[in-house]
Structure 1
Amino acid sequence: MQRYFITEKTNELKGETAFHIGKVMRMRPKEQIELCVGGVCFLAEIVSIDKDMVEVQYLKELASVPNHVKITLIQGLGKQDKQEIVSKYATEFGVSEIIFVPMKRSIVSYDSSSIDKKMDRFLKIAYEASRLSHRDAVPQISYKESLDKLEYRFDHLWVAYENDKDVSFLDCVKNIQKGDSVAILVGPEGGIDEKELAFLASKGFQRVGLGKRILQTEIACLYALSVIDAHLESQSN
């Protein structure tokens, strides 16, 4: 079942959504799709397909997948392909927000004139990942110029640090309660500078290890998100 995200509940679908339904998927009238708006999803049936518009009829509201915890991934800026991997797979793990931020040991940097274009690219990747994984909403994706531009209003703040292997991330995750907000920060390929670690500690971040191995930056965030996801799944059963 194909799922699409729209900005308002309308019977007339246009733009990229209509193009994907009619031209890419080659769907026909009477076929069914799922449409999500504002975190609420509906089962709908295609009534007609024209060149630039698809008319649908809403059949029923679908049961939502509860998201009891807001998870924000703060990702140190890495190489271009790493941002794309993070945007795709962090979305599939249910992250609520992804914030990319350059750090002292980041290999690449973004010119101010290209930031919006790059964030649009990553948001499109997240949109497609949300569609295919049947999320109820697409995560927010943004860029901050530096760590001191972030807002640190979370119930739990963790920074992944390879030298803290004795601090069990799973034990920390067990403290998450329904309704909490969580921030997990993962550094770039070169790691996190000591001054950055000191700054994060002053903001309330706890250093945690992610297993006994050294993980690449795009894999480290997925490890952390999978541990959180597994804990939340166990709590919901």
Structure 2
Amino acid sequence: MADAGNRHPQCGQRRNARVIMRELRVYLAGQWQSGAHVALLPAQFNYLKNVLRLSDGERITVFNGANRVAEGVVTFEKRTGQVTLGEIFERSVESPLSTHLIQAMGKGEKMDWVVQKAVELGVTRITPITTQRSVVELKGERADKRHSRFIDITISACEQSGRNFIPTIDPITPLAQALTLSASAELKWILHPQVTATQTHAPAAAPQSAAVLIGPEGGFTEAELAAAGDAGFTPITLGPRVLRTETAPIVALTALQLRFGDFIPR
């Protein structure tokens, strides 16, 4: 009698199924050469060897944050590891629209989430800011640690999402200084729930760069709104509902990509 498992679709699928893992990607900074041996950082070594249980000779994809990619072969010692690089090539999945997110710091892990999702959506630069109504004010060592955490989140998001370019993550910056960082942006939005203009009033000609300014939970002061206007930012709303400070940047970046970036049907 034939094996009943082979006749049953589900059983057959289980028996013949192959475990397909998504591409394993690791960020390795530097200017590479084919055949070079690049050392893994301790955290990378631990993740690849002790978490994923990779063995010597297994292959991974590495990228250097400047759109250079290579296939690499891993080898491990007791406490260290390295990647031997194969052919190196250029591969960019960046949007034609360069986007700069200027985002007021939120409470708890809200800003971590914003950084992660903004990177997945193709943001080019993120500037965390403090404003007069900010509920989070970090200085000195605490601000430096948070900045380092944002960079780590950015790298992880690039590894996961397939980006080979690492966005710029600025230190926590006062609003007045942040406004000067977006001087060259062709399109500038400041989100404000008490205006009537929506994103449909954006220019018909596609800009190559855009900046989005998002305030804290308590909103911007009148003086801050005036300063943003003087810097060329147009107040807009993204619809009739009031969005949380961690929701607004995701909606705004998505709207920009849909209108001017790589979400446009081609």
TM-score normalised by length of structure 1: 0.90
Structure 2 unaligned segments of length 5 or more: list them: 1-22
Matched, 1:159 2:187: no
Which range is displaced more, 34-43 or 130-139? Answer: 34-43
Matched, 1:20 2:20: no
Counterpart selection for 1:2 from 24, 32, 40:
24
Which range is displaced more, 107-116 or 206-215? Answer: 107-116
Equivalent residue runs for 1:79-228 within 5 Å: 79-150=107-178, 151=180, 152-153=182-183, 154-164=185-195, 166-172=196-202, 174-177=204-207, 180-228=208-256
Residue of structure 1 equivalent to 2:262: 233
Structure label with greater radius of gyration: 2
Query: For residues 48 and 157 of structure 2, what CA distance do their matches in structure 1 show?
Result: 17
Query: For residues 136 and 50 of structure 1, what CA distance do their matches in structure 2 show?
Result: 28
CA offsets 1:181-204 (integer angstroms, 9 cap, x no match):
211000011111111101110111
Q: Work out the percentage of aligned pairs sharing the same amino acid.
A: 26
Structure 1 unaligned segments of length 5 or more: list them: none
Query: For residues 87 and 25 of structure 1, what CA distance do their matches in structure 2 show?
Result: 25
Query: For residues 93 and 82 of structure 1, what CA distance do their matches in structure 2 show?
Result: 17
| Runs of 4+ with >6 A deviation | none
SS in 1 for 2:141: coil
Query: Residue 14 of structure 1: CA displacement?
Result: 1.9
Query: Residue 234 of structure 1: CA displacement?
Result: 4.8
Query: For residues 190 and 231 of structure 2, what CA distance do their matches in structure 1 show?
Result: 11
Counterpart of 1:224, as a letter, is: A
Counterpart of 2:149, as a letter, is: R
Counterpart of 2:25, as a letter, is: R
Paired residues of 2:74 and 2:81 also in contact (CA < 8 A): no
Number of corresponding residues = 234
**Closer, same or farther: CA 77–63 of 1 in aligned 2, 3 Å:** closer
Residue of structure 1 equivalent to 2:10: none
Query: Residue 22 of structure 1: CA displacement?
Result: 1.9
Query: Residue 127 of structure 1: CA displacement?
Result: 1.3
Query: Residue 33 of structure 1: CA displacement?
Result: 1.5
Query: For residues 204 and 44 of structure 2, what CA distance do their matches in structure 1 show?
Result: 40
SS in 1 for 2:140: coil
Query: For residues 170 and 90 of structure 2, what CA distance do their matches in structure 1 show?
Result: 29
Query: For residues 169 and 105 of structure 1, what CA distance do their matches in structure 2 show?
Result: 25
Query: For residues 70 and 82 of structure 1, what CA distance do their matches in structure 2 show?
Result: 23
Query: Residue 34 of structure 1: CA displacement?
Result: 1.4
TM-score normalised by length of structure 2: 0.81
